[in-house]
Structure 1
């Protein structure tokens, strides 16, 4: 018995020793952890203060790293998360900024600044889905701030949550009363829902209150016009004229209504009045001109559009923008000479606008005024020496004058300076270089240039056609030439030049019957047919044994060639020997 008791006693003693030792270890670890927490807290505070100083000194990247270290040491440090939100937003990392702002707000949900910066971040990111939740928190903190309710309604509208947007509008009305802005907002929401009648009703209610600005009248008149109630629109705008005399937007509304009624002259009269108004700025008037060109639903007669463009330039005679816009309008109206004059007027006022030089060179190329392109291209390049588009247009001026070496220099310079991501320009440059190299008998280089153009854009009908035509002239790779020419005609059906190319490729392949079909299409689509088309027609007829008809076409081609100063020796030989001559 005693031995057992002693044994158990010893065990207890040992066990007690173990327990005492373990307790001591736990106590020591707890003390260490407390010490570490204290050290981390002191370190975090020191780092926070350091980050604030760095931020104040403009060392934003360094400050960002410092505050990131703070939140590693103290994940619940709301002020550090707030600082990071500001820094991330400054650095345009809006995703990280949003996370940091929300974390700060979660830690201190009653801090208005935290929710405010979250809203600023979402505004900047245009994150309309996230904005209503943040605005709800701001409304909770400041229930008397009407702007938060309005912004919530608008965010919901932008997110196409129309029902919720209308509910928020009703809340605003109940809390703050119905304002003009509320009517406008609800009108927008109803229109987005496709409820035109409700939108009209909202504006009619607003107009009945005699608002202090003309916007309600304009928008309501526009709805009347769009719903074929033009008489109501005119009557409403007449009422607006009495209240807001000479308001340009009222005049524009009247112009639109009269256009809808098909009364062009009256519409033009109101547009002229609006354009003479100083209340309508130069940019607004330019926008109206461009809109008039694009308005397919209610087109304004081209004569009147041109008249407005002239009035616009006359109203602002010393503004280069007015003349440049006039040039653009005339370009769209396909009145190239007048467009050219307008661009020159603009450059007389200010020679340092690259875009106007580009437009001038483009219109001069369209007119075939290659000498002018060369001259103005040199002037533009003296001001903008490395601009690829100016180099491109100038190169085409030299190409038009058959000054191939100069054309090559300018086009290669343009290629070397072109943005590698600007595929349309690169495609045109390679296509143009293909033409230049071919003219210089650099056939290998020409083929490579066309292939580069087609590789960049497989739908480039111009490069496909020209490459096919020059291969046909050289009687090389005729199968490839036929494929490319066929493809160019599929991409741009009805183009006589492309049809002629296909006819000529087929001719070189010995497929004269099909070639005849295609050359006839080319001639039928031309007004008038060129000497080249007529010569090819005669060549094909000759191969089909229709000698008399062939000679008749060659004679027509020779007469045209003589009239434009082209060489007629080869055509004369064909006529003399009455057969095809290589």
Structure 2
């Protein structure tokens, strides 16, 4: 069974995050900086790079940067810009090369920090350690470098080196911060005993809140929740740091005590001084688990997050997603529209606007907003893709196809997930346009790019079954879709229909009955149920199911299978 429009929209509700926005911001930042330094001659050329990135023409943007580099080979900013773009595209080797050049040209700590982050991303910890050791020669009293070096030694399985450095530093100039970092090294190495030994000496004496948070974590790990609560509460009393209420909430969560957890969260979320991203991480964790708090309480936390940090758009996105989850799609759309008015290059926000339009059954609005987003983000593959869903919702398949084919042309540098979705949707549209060979090829490409593209697996299997073509392949793809989503009535129906076409009527009956248990209001499922019963010579039972299907068709004023179902009832047998 194929519910193309519904399933594609459902599958995309909570997918995709920012990507192109970051690329555009790279050159925007550099240009703003350049405009404050009028003597920098390359500022106009960097604007041209920004324009290419906005259009999704990354390769051309990089080529322009290569040309600028040839003119200004000693400018560190240009190598830094290239490194950022290459890193965002996942080309870490070349990103590191350009970051290293930026640092070599300037020996500035700013570029060193960027290079260090790339080494961490590549898990090239040895190079990171080498860089930090080089920086320590230049900045021997820089405590931050020592802290970072301690952590990298530990991550690189050089705990002995970390311990030697810690001993040397603490003998010369001990500090609570160094003790805290070393305890973190031990915690990450699962040596809780050594970490606890360090932290216990600081308990009740230091004003560093993380000391109490880490001790609470260790007690919780030892299955001592009361001790964990006690040390965190001591930390709150000692430091008056509201961020410790997040540690308190986490401890209550692990104890299964949701009310005190929520009380602690409210205090933390209502405090502007608690870092936004710490709150965001906590609430995102709650969203990704089985329902711990009610939707109303989650919404109140999100509202508080936005009220205390109104300028961080991720908080507004979270608020909107919770509104949508709670069935307030129109209000959620208003929130998302507010985000794109603040930052029209926020691709994920445009995607959410379009999806709420579709969820409200307003395909015209989805198209309008999609085209508006494309004005600010020309040829963006994600926006082209989502806008195509609006046209598909209006059954304007030619326009939808055009959008998807353009998206495909500009998706060369996108991830396989998006490219698979584009190909899968093209498969659906080519089928609607009776272009079956192209449809099959598009589905094959979609599944080759992402073997978990459940919509492509299901729809391809169903259309093959309808055409009675490659039924073994259809059975394989259909079974795989059920393995991915085992509680989908739609996918069970597809598998039942493949079995029907293979003549495996008894096995088909088993699957269609499971599907109907999950969805008793689908005319297509009930019609298939009747078809299978008819093939098993259970004509009376078949008539019952066909009549149910017909009643649903009448109520919904759908003309899809009305005549065919009437014919089956009249002739009291299955009709092709």
TM-score normalized by structure 2? 0.71
Residue 227 of structure 1: which of 222, 226, 232 is its match?
222
Residue 244 of structure 2: aligned partner = 250
- Give the Å deviation of 1:546: 1.7
After TM superposition, give the deviation of residue 309 of structure 1 in Å: 0.7
Partner of 2:546: 554
1:565 to 530, 536, 557: 557
Candidates 267, 271, 295, aligned match of 1:277: 271
Partner of 1:448: 441
Give, in whole Å, the separation in 2 of the partners of 1:295 and 1:499: 26
Distance of 1:323 and 1:186 partners within structure 2:
37
1:571 to partner: Cα distance: 1.3
Contact 1:464 1:485 in 2 (8 A): yes
> Relative to 1, partners in 2 of residues 1:374 and 1:278: Cα closer, same or farther, differing over 3 Å?
same
Matched with 1:353 is 346
Return the match for 1:515 from 508, 516, 522.
508
Q: 1:258 to 1:580 in 2, by over 3 A?
A: closer
Instruction: Give 3-state SS (helix, strand or coil) of 2:407's partner.
Output: helix
Q: Provide the aligned length of Structure 1 versus Structure 2.
A: 480
Relative to structure 2, which stretch is displaced further, 462-471 or 473-482? Answer: 473-482
**C-alpha separation in 2, matches of 1:324 and 1:262:** 28
How far 1:248 moved relative to its partner?
A: 1.8
Structure 2 partner of 1:462? 455
* Alpha-carbon spacing, 1:149–1:317, altered in 2? closer, same or farther (3 Å): closer
Matches within 5 A, 1:147-186: 153-174=150-171, 176-186=172-182
- Could you tell me which residue of structure 2 aligns to residue 92 of structure 1? 98
Alignment partners' CA distance in 2, 1:564 and 1:481 = 30
- Give the CA RMSD over aligned residues: 4.0
Distance in structure 1 (CA, Å) of the matches to 2:465 and 2:357:
32
Is the contact between residue 423 and residue 443 of structure 2 (CA under 8 Å) also seen in structure 1? Answer: yes
Counterpart of 1:240 in structure 2 is 235
Task: Give ranges in structure 1 of 5+ residues lacking alignment.
Answer: 1-54, 62-87, 99-112
Alpha carbons of structure 1 residues 163 and 375: separation in structure 2 relative to 1, 3 Å: same
What per-residue deviation string (whole Å, max 9, x for no partner) do you get for residues 380-425 of structure 1?
2333331121121121122122222222222222222222553222
1:106-505 maps to which residues of 2 (within 5 A)?
A: 125=119, 128-129=125-126, 153-174=150-171, 176-208=172-204, 210-245=205-240, 247-294=241-288, 299-316=292-309, 320-330=313-323, 339-347=332-340, 349-366=342-359, 368-419=361-412, 421-505=414-498
User: SS in structure 2 opposite 1:278?
Assistant: coil
Partners of 2:272 and 2:309 within 8 A in 1: no
Does 2:570 correspond to 1:576?
yes
Distance 1:529 1:160, change over 3 A: same
Larger Rg: 1
Q: Say which structure, 1 or 2, has more relative contact order (CA 8 Å, 6+ apart).
A: 2
- 1:455-481 CA-to-partner distances (Å, cap 9, x unmatched) read 434454432332232233233444544
Deviation at 1:531, TM superposition (A): 0.7
Contact 1:318/1:349 (CA < 8 Å) preserved in 2? no
Mapped partners of 1:402, 1:458: distance in 2: 27
The answer to whether residue 522 in structure 2 is matched with residue 527 in structure 1 is: no
The 2-side partners of 1:403 and 1:141 are apart by 64
Stretch moving more, 125-134 or 413-422: 125-134
Q: Tell me, what secondary structure is at the counterpart of 2:378?
A: coil
**2:88 alignment partner in structure 1:** none
Counterpart-to-counterpart distance in 2, 1:320 and 1:301: 24
Give CA deviations for 1:101-127 in whole Å, capped at 9, x if unaligned. xxxxxxxxxxxx9xxx99998897465
Q: Tell me whether 266-275 or 233-242 shows the greater mean CA deviation.
A: 233-242
Structure 1, 177-186 or 127-136: larger mean CA deviation = 127-136
Deviation of 1:330 (Å): 4.5
Deviates further, 183-192 or 341-350: 341-350
Q: What's the TM-score once normalised by structure 1's chain length? A: 0.71
User: Relative to 1, partners in 2 of residues 1:305 and 1:161: Cα closer, same or farther, differing over 3 Å?
Assistant: same
Taking the aligned partners of 2:133 and 2:480, their CA distance within structure 1 comes to: 60
Structure 1 residue 336 displacement after superposition: 5.1
Determine the structure 2 residue equivalent to 1:85: none
Q: Secondary structure of the equivalent of 2:256?
A: coil
SS of 1:581's partner is: coil
Could you tell me how far 1:357 is from its partner in structure 2?
A: 0.7
